[in-house]
Amino acid sequence: MLHGKRVILGISGGIAAYKGPALVRALVEAGAEVRVILTRSAVEFVAPLALQAVSHNAVGLDLFDPAYEAQIGHIELARWADAVLVAPTTANLLARLAYGLCDDLLTTVLCATRAPVVLAPAMNSQMLAHPAVQANLALLAAREGHLIVQPDQGALACQEIGPGRMPDPEVLIAALAGALSPRRLEGRRALITAGPTREAIDPVRFLSNPSSGKMGFAVARAAALLGARVTLVAGPVSLPDPVGVERIDVVSAEEMFEAVMARVQHPDPDQRPEVVVKAAAVADWRPAQVADHKVKKTEGEQLTLVMERTRDILAGLGALPDDRRPILVGFAAETRDLDRYALDKLNRKNLDMIVANQVSGPTSAFGADLNAVTLFDRQGGRVDLGPAPKDEIAAGIWGHLLAISPQLGARSRPE
Ligand SMILES: Cc1cc2nc3c(=O)[nH]c(=O)nc-3n(C[C@H](O)[C@H](O)[C@H](O)COP(=O)(O)O)c2cc1C
């Protein structure tokens, strides 16, 4: 998510500073090169040596340290950064930053940089509610290039329960990636489906497939990073909510059909998605009868199920009149003749683009973190993506869709 990005992690002197080394690890695992700057107070809570070891870079502590300044001057450091994350941001640092004080290395770099700044305020709930803190937060939220990540609710170190906790690393990383992303889908509404569906046989058994939902969740995350308002309709998967995405959980193909159609045919046109990506592995058939009670194995050596077709969501969307039809992207998971089946589905279901996926053999996509796909579009274009992490594949899918659908370009840009 932060591949090749240069990130300054500023740590100020809140209790959550002790989470610094784990945050650095997560940033590095997300692909970032990290340089850490600590305030004087932060050194009371976390050891610089630990941060140096996990970031593989010297830690900045003092604006007037000749050795550090010789290694990388504070202005050079401010220019080096693609983004600055301050986590935790203390009430004191918010005040200093709001008023442009430059009385240590971190605040001086924050004033000198033109990179996006992401602030994660974390403190006792009463401190957070103080009018001065709220006024500083409002000032900084309105400042160009500054993004505030709302603190979480929960048990605080001061043994109170309330708002003020520093969010988990994945939330901070998503905020950083969002601050770095060109907001090419700003103002657009996207609906993504993900995961498998389950079709009940009886109250304790179902038919399903091995889809993990990872690809669809990555597509939803990528759209949110590009600035879209994203609804994710998810089958039963065990994945955390993507940051900044509205998630609707469903179980069966019928429930998924209802959830998608309700949004695509919303009475208010301004609520309808303008683009739908159907990454879910939806069951094509379901048992025609669902037993009221558990089918007992004493009922026989064999069990015959009569199956009936489920409603086809993509075909339903493709058949909408042109002025009601969102831009449509389907997925084709095939075990053979991938190109032929994918192109046939693209045309038959009236799609704008199809993402073709080989789901057997060494590049099997189900459950994996890497994927390799081929995109086919209605204009006859063909693009191979991967093997690559699913987040990169997702970014590639949106990149190609934006290239072939100029009407999808952002409505308004924040800059
Ligand atoms: C044990 C302890 C925990 C603290 N935790 C926080 C905190 O979570 N958030 C905060 O804003 N200040 C906290 N403070 C107060 C800051 O350390 C203090 O305001 C300091 O001046 C911040 O300096 P800095 O912003 O330069 O890092 C804490 C102080 C102590 C003694």
Q: Assess if residue 165 is contained within a domain.
A: yes
What is the tens place of the pLDDT at every residue in 38-48? Answer: 999 999 999 99
What is the tens place of the pLDDT at every residue in 94-123? Answer: 999 999 999 999 999 999 999 999 999 999
Average pLDDT over residues 210-234: 95
Pocket of ligand 1 (CB under 6 A): 12-16, 39, 41-42, 90-93, 122-123, 127
Window from 123-132, 219-228, 380-389 with minimum mean pLDDT: 380-389
- Ligand 1, atom 28, lies closest to the CA of 14
Shared domain check, 219 and 168: no
Work out which ligand 1 atom sits closest to the CA atom of 127.
Answer: 11
Q: Assess if residue 351 is contained within a domain.
A: yes
How many angstroms is it from 158 CA to the middle of ligand 1? Answer: 12
Active-site hit among 158, 237, 295, 368: 158
CATH (domain of 136)? 3.40.50.1950
Beta strands per DSSP E along 290-379: 307-309, 327-334, 353-358, 370-377
Shared domain check, 107 and 206: no
Shared domain check, 239 and 147: no
Say how many CA atoms lie within 13 Å of 105 toward its Cβ. Answer: 28
**What distance in Å separates the CA atoms of residue 300 and residue 322, rounded to the nearest whole number?**
52
Q: Assess if residue 1 is contained within a domain.
A: no
Q: In 192-318, which residue ranges form alpha helices assigned H by DSSP?
A: 214-225, 253-264, 313-318
Q: Assess if residue 414 is contained within a domain.
A: no
Calculate what percentage of the chain has a pLDDT beyond 90: 74
Annotation says 102 is catalytic: no
Q: In 226-337, which residue ranges form alpha helices assigned H by DSSP?
A: 253-264, 313-318
Q: Assess if residue 415 is contained within a domain.
A: no
Domain boundary among 147, 180, 213: 180
Domain boundary among 180, 198, 217: 180
**What distance in Å separates the CA atoms of residue 304 and residue 327, rounded to the nearest whole number?**
40
CA angle 309, 237, 234 (to 5 degrees): 60
Print the domain residue range for 152: 6-180
CA neighbor of 27 nearest in space, from 67, 49, 56, 47: 56
Shared domain check, 356 and 294: yes
Asked if the model's pLDDT at residue 355 lies above 70, the reply is yes
Q: Assess if residue 284 is contained within a domain.
A: yes
**What distance in Å separates the CA atoms of residue 95 and residue 99, rounded to the nearest whole number?**
6
What is the tens place of the pLDDT at every residue in 64-85? Answer: 999 999 989 999 999 999 999 9
Q: What pLDDT is stored for residue 410 in this prediction?
A: 63
Average pLDDT over residues 372-382: 92
How many angstroms is it from 96 CA to the middle of ligand 1? Answer: 13
The secondary element (H helix, E strand) that includes residue 382 is strand 382-389
Shared domain check, 307 and 204: yes
Shared domain check, 143 and 90: yes
How many angstroms is it from 414 CA to the middle of ligand 1? Answer: 33
Shared domain check, 51 and 159: yes
Shared domain check, 162 and 204: no
**What distance in Å separates the CA atoms of residue 409 and residue 269, rounded to the nearest whole number?**
18
Work out which ligand 1 atom sits closest to the CA atom of 89.
Answer: 11
What tokens appear for 375 in the block?
Answer: 């995109």
What is the tens place of the pLDDT at every residue in 13-64? Answer: 999 999 999 999 999 999 999 999 999 999 999 999 999 999 999 999 999 9
Q: What pLDDT is stored for residue 413 in this prediction?
A: 40
Shared domain check, 301 and 260: yes
Looking at residue 332, its amino acid is A
Shared domain check, 241 and 160: no
User: Which of 11, 92, 109 most suits a substitution to test ligand 1, by most atoms within 8 Å of the C-beta?
Assistant: 92
Average pLDDT over residues 175-194: 92
pTM of this structure:
0.74
What is the tens place of the pLDDT at every residue in 233-247? Answer: 999 999 999 888 999
Q: Assess if residue 413 is contained within a domain.
A: no
**What distance in Å separates the CA atoms of residue 330 and residue 353, rounded to the nearest whole number?**
7
Domain boundary among 180, 199, 217: 180
Q: Assess if residue 46 is contained within a domain.
A: yes
What confidence category does residue 388 fall into, taking pLDDT thresholds of 50, 70 and 90? confident
Task: Report the domain count for the chain.
Answer: 2
CATH (domain of 379)? 3.40.50.10300
In whole numbers, what is the pLDDT of the chain averaged over residues? 92
User: Which of 9, 11, 15 most suits a substitution to test ligand 1, by most atoms within 8 Å of the C-beta?
Assistant: 15
Shared domain check, 216 and 145: no
Shared domain check, 115 and 264: no
| Cross-sheet strand order for the sheet of 146-148 | 33-38, 6-11, 83-89, 117-121, 146-148
Q: What pLDDT is stored for residue 182 in this prediction?
A: 83
